[in-house]
Structure formats: structure tokens, C-alpha cells
């Protein structure tokens, strides 16, 4: 801004011609002027000593500005006089002071003599005064314009006020003169294009970024407040009973800060058949449980994640859990493989390898929630015994349809008498089987494989005919007569 006008600064008189003492020659027919007289823009000015204008018409009066309030400093190129003792001008107002000593005394004497001789120099007094009056009027007008352009304003930046003198026309120009850059998040009051007048107050509040985590939700906001408490009020955050990561009186610098706020919320717990409601600013459900005096033991848990953020009005159920383990052995079914055998008569099936079931050992987790048994959960398993595959041989050999010496007999009647016509029939002792109740030894001696009850009805009849050729009806002592019936 520069120095205040009217305080004697060098810039105050920068727009005016400096006072330069110079010697002038007197017009023809007139007395020479005193050596100590000075000239401003070609006009002769007598010294301060004596009364050079006695006997002449008074000088033209130049109106002056009205005095302002007592606390308002006077402005203008000569206001510095008010600050000097007894209203005396400063030494540098009209150049250097006359040097002391004999030379100074001689110049002072010449000024006195010139003052006494001035009335006798002849000429029209008004003509002599007119140039001087014009110069005074010019200076007074320039001074008034200078003072009128100067304004005394108060500038408050982030709450720190100071008084400035400025020639700016509006707020934007004032801020530019002060080198102040304002952005979209800053506040300027009045507006930037507001015209300035003396006595105005301009307020600037810089915006500050705040990374606010409010009840678990993170976002960036801007505030012109200079403290945490002011920012909370400006942002409309309910802070009564809330947790704050910074003190309310903590300052917020231009670089901003991170602020975590957890407001007070209502939380209801249902545990052990009772309901408890508390007010809390806890960060997690687990922390709120501790505040409510509820303890989680063993595998106990809650209906929501214990490490989640508790919401206002939320109801949380506590689940009392008891558990254990159980080991079970379960059977594993065997598989069956069938293989063709050209050595067996067609339709004959023989079990070459009997299948066996395996055993699997499974470990389950047992769980009871609030007294209610839950479905067991499988934890692990292992194979104790592998199952054994069952192998069956299937005959593909074509059997002869007749046996000489055994045709024409009632083989169907014999089968009905011995086994009720069932090819897989077995007697109560387990010794005899099939349609014709062969024992295994007899069956295999006739060319059969495996057990007779496993062979087809055709093969069993063929083997029975061969046995009849060898031994007649004696193998069937009771039912043998059916062959001829």
C-alpha cells in the first residue's frame, strides 16, 4: 500500500515540484529582491521573517476541508504538520535550514531590508499578489484532489484487523494491491466489486481443507473457521457427547487437518434374555459391548460383525455359543466290475472277487446357539479302509442244447419239486443250491464254475442231464420220480 499520506513520507509530495531556491533578476526600473527570497515555478516568495504583505489587500482565501472526527487522521500533503511540536514545519519542507554563523546573519539582514523596501518598489500590489494567489490555489486544489483519492479502510484477514490508506477504487483492487489471492473456498465481504469508501471494513476469511471422518464416513470439506470448534459449528456437526480426534480449541492452519468425529448414538443389546440400551460414541460394536458391561466368552459372538461401526438406533443380539466335536465312521460302498469269460457257458455269471465296503472317519463340529442345537459342520475326514471292488465273470460260451440219454424226461417237474422252479434257490443248510439242488463239489465235477445257484437255468439243466447220464435219478431220491411222471 505504501506510507500513509500526511505523515511526512517522501511519496507524499511526489506529484509536486520541489522547492528549489534560485536568484532572480529584478525588472528594469525596480529594486532588486532580497537575496534570501525563493521562487516556486517562477513566482517570488518572501521569507517567513517580517511582514512583506502589510499595507496590501489580503490574499485570496482558499477553502480547506472540514475536520473529520477526532480519531480520523488528517490527510493531505501538509498533514504532517499536525504531528510536529507546536505546529512548526519540519526542517526539510522548504529545503535545508539556513546555516548558523555570520553568513546566516547577513542573509537574514538582507531579507529584513528587502521587506522594508518592498512597499517602495512601485507597481500595482494586486498585480504582484495575483501570481502568488494562483500558485496557492493550484497547490490547494491538488492537495484536495490528493486527499479525496486517499481512503482509510480496515482490512481484517482471518480475524486480524489492520488499518490501511489506499487509492483503490474497489475491494478487488485493494486485494490486488496487497498481493492477496483469494480462491473459490475463501470468503470476501463485501464482494470483490464493491466500491470502497473511507471508513469501510473489508473482511477476508481463507478456506481450509478438512478431511472429516464422521461416524465412519470419510469426505473432504472446506471451512473458513480457524479452530476445530468453529469448524464443527460451521459444518453443522452435532458434537455434544461426541469423540473428537483433536481438541475443540485446536487451531486449523491454512494447510487444513484430518478430523475424526464419532457422534453419540443410541445402541440396544439383547443378551441373556435381557435388553440393554446405552448412549455411546464407540468406534466398534465390541467397544460398545464393553461399555454396556457385556462380556463375550469362548465362541460367543454378535448378530453383526463385532468390529463393525455401530449405527444410531441399531439393535445387536448376543449369541451364546457352546460347541464340541464328534467323530463318526461311515461305510463306503464298493464298486462292481463285470468281465466276459469265454470258458463259461453263456448266461452263467460267477463272482470272481467278492466286494467289501470301506470305512471313512469324519470329524464334525457340534454347535449350540442360545441353547438351540445347530446342524453339525464337517471339519475333516480320513479313509480308514478302502472299499474292495467286486468282480463278476460273465460266460459267453455257447452250451449244447441236448444230452444223449437224458432227453424226453420231465426236467421242469424235477426243478419244481427240488427248488420250486427258482434257479437261485438255496437249502436251509446252505449246502445245496440251484434248480436241482447241486452241492458245489458235484457241480464243479460236471464242468460248472463257482456255485450252481449263480449259473443260468439252461446251464443248470445241462449239468443235471449229464449227472443223470452218469448216475440216473439217484441224486434226487425224493423228487427223481418226477422225471418219468
User: Domain residues of the chain, as ranges?
Assistant: 10-148, 151-205, 208-262, 265-319, 324-392, 399-484
CB 186 within 8 A of CB 204: yes
Q: How far apart are the first and last CA of the chain?
A: 146
Question: Rounded to whole angstroms, what are the CA distances from 454 to 173, 347, 430, 445, 446?
Answer: 116, 10, 13, 16, 15
| pTM of the predicted protein model | 0.41
The CATH number of 399-484 is which of 1.20.140.10, 3.30.420.40, 1.10.530.10, 3.20.20.150? Answer: 1.10.530.10
What is each CA distance from 480 to 413, 417, 421, 476, in whole angstroms?
9, 9, 15, 5
Distance separating alpha carbons of residues 356 and 409, to the nearest angstrom: 43
Q: What angle do CA 195, 201, 206 make, to 5 degrees?
A: 100
Q: Is there a common fold for 151-205 and 265-319?
A: yes
Going by C-alpha positions, the residue among 476, 459, 482 that lies closest to residue 412 is 482
Measured CA to CA, the distance from residue 338 to residue 326 in angstroms comes to 39
166 burial level (CB within 10 Å; 0-12, 13-18, 19+): buried
Secondary structure of residue 363 in the 3-state scheme: strand
Per DSSP (E only), the strands in 295-347 are 301-302, 314-319, 321-332, 336-345
Kindly give the confidence (pLDDT) of every residue in the chain, 485 residues in length, as a single tens digit, with 9 standing for 90 and above: 443 333 433 333 333 333 333 444 444 544 444 444 333 333 344 443 443 334 433 433 333 333 333 333 333 332 333 333 333 333 333 333 334 444 344 444 545 554 554 444 444 555 555 555 555 555 555 444 445 578 899 999 988 999 999 999 999 999 999 999 888 999 999 988 999 999 999 999 999 999 999 988 899 999 999 999 999 998 998 888 889 989 889 999 989 999 999 999 999 999 998 999 999 999 999 999 999 999 999 889 999 999 999 999 999 999 999 989 999 999 999 999 999 998 887 877 888 999 999 999 999 999 999 889 999 999 999 999 999 999 999 888 887 778 888 888 999 999 999 999 999 999 999 999 999 999 999 999 998 888 999 888 988 999 999 999 999 999 999 999 999 87
User: Count of CB atoms within 10 A of residue 263's CB?
Assistant: 15
What is the three-state SS of 220-279? Answer: EEEECCCEHHHHHHHHCCCCCCCEECCCCCCECCCCCEEEEEECCEEEEEEECCEEEEEE
SS3 143: helix
Give the domain 208-262 fold.
Answer: Ubiquitin-like (UB roll) (3.10.20)
Q: How many residues does the chain have?
A: 485
**Alpha-carbon distance 105 to 322, whole Å?**
120
CATH topology of domain 265-319: Ubiquitin-like (UB roll) (3.10.20)
CATH for 151-205?
A: 3.10.20.30
CATH number of 324-392: 2.20.230.10
Amino acid at each position: 500500500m505504501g506510507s500513509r499520506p500526511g505523515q511526512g513520507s517522501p511519496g507524499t509530495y511526489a506529484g509536486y515540484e520541489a522547492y528549489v531556491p534560485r536568484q532572480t533578476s529584478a525588472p528594469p526600473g525596480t529594486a532588486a529582491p532580497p537575496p534570501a527570497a525563493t521562487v516556486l515555478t517562477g513566482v517570488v516568495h518572501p521569507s517567513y521573517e517580517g511582514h512583506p504583505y502589510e499595507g496590501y489587500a489580503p490574499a485570496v482565501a482558499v477553502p480547506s476541508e472540514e475536520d473529520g472526527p477526532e480519531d480520523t487522521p488528517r490527510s493531505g500533503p501538509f498533514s504532517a504538520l499536525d504531528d510536529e511540536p507546536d505546529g512548526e514545519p519540519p526542517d526539510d519542507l522548504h529545503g535545508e535550514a539556513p546555516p548558523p554563523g555570520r553568513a546566516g546573519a547577513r542573509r537574514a539582514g538582507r531579507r529584513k531590508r528587502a521587506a522594508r523596501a518592498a512597499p517602495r518598489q512601485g507597481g500595482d500590489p494586486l498585480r504582484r499578489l495575483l501570481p502568488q494567489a494562483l500558485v496557492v490555489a493550484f497547490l490547494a486544489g491538488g492537495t484536495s484532489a490528493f486527499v479525496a483519492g486517499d481512503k482509510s479502510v480496515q482490512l481484517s484477514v482471518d480475524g486480524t484487523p489492520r488499518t490501511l490508506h489506499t487509492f483503490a477504487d474497489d475491494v478487488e483492487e485493494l486485494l490486488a494491491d496487497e498481493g492477496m489471492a483469494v480462491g473459490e473456498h475463501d470468503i470476501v465481504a463485501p464482494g470483490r466489486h464493491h466500491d470502497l469508501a473511507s471508513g469501510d471494513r473489508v473482511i477476508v476469511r481463507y478456506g481450509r481443507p478438512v478431511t472429516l471422518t464422521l461416524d465412519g464416513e470419510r469426505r473432504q470439506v472446506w471451512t473458513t473457521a480457524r479452530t476445530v470448534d468453529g469448524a464443527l459449528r460451521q459444518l453443522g456437526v452435532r458434537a455434544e457427547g461426541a469423540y473428537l480426534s483433536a481438541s475443540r480449541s485446536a487451531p486449523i492452519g491454512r494447510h487444513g487437518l484430518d478430523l475424526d468425529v464419532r457422534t453419540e448414538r443410541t445402541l440396544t443389546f439383547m443378551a441373556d434374555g435381557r435388553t440393554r440400551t446405552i448412549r455411546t460414541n464407540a468406534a466398534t460394536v465390541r467397544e460398545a459391548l464393553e461399555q454396556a458391561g457385556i462380556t463375550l466368552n469362548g465362541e460367543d459372538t454378535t448378530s453383526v460383525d463385532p468390529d463393525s461401526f455401530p449405527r444410531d438406533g441399531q439393535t445387536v443380539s448376543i449369541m451364546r455359543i457352546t460347541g464340541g466335536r464328534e467323530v463318526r465312521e461311515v461305510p463306503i460302498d464298493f464298486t462292481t466290475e463285470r468281465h466276459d469269460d469265454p470258458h463259461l457257458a453263456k448266461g452263467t455269471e460267477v463272482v470272481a472277487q467278492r466286494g467289501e465296503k470301506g470305512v471313512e472317519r469324519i470329524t464334525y463340529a457340534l454347535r449350540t446357539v442360545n441353547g438351540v442345537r445347530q446342524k453339525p459342520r464337517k471339519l475333516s475326514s480320513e479313509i480308514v479302509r478302502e472299499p474292495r471292488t467286486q468282480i463278476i465273470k460273465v460266460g459267453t460260451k455257447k452250451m449244447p442244447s441236448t444230452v444223449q440219454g437224458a432227453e424226453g424226461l420231465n426236467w421242469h417237474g424235477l426243478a419244481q419239486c427240488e427248488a420250486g422252479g427258482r434257479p437261485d434257490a438255496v437249502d436251509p443248510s446252505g449246502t445245496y443250491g440251484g434248480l436241482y439242488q447241486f452241492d458245489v463239489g458235484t457241480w464243479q465235477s460236471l464242468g460248472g464254475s463257482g456255485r450252481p445257484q449263480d449259473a443260468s437255468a439252461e446251464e443248470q439243466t445241462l449239468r443235471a442231464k449229464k449227472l443223470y447220464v452218469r448216475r440216473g435219478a439217484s441224486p434226487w431220491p425224493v423228487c427223481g420220480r418226477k422225471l418219468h411222471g
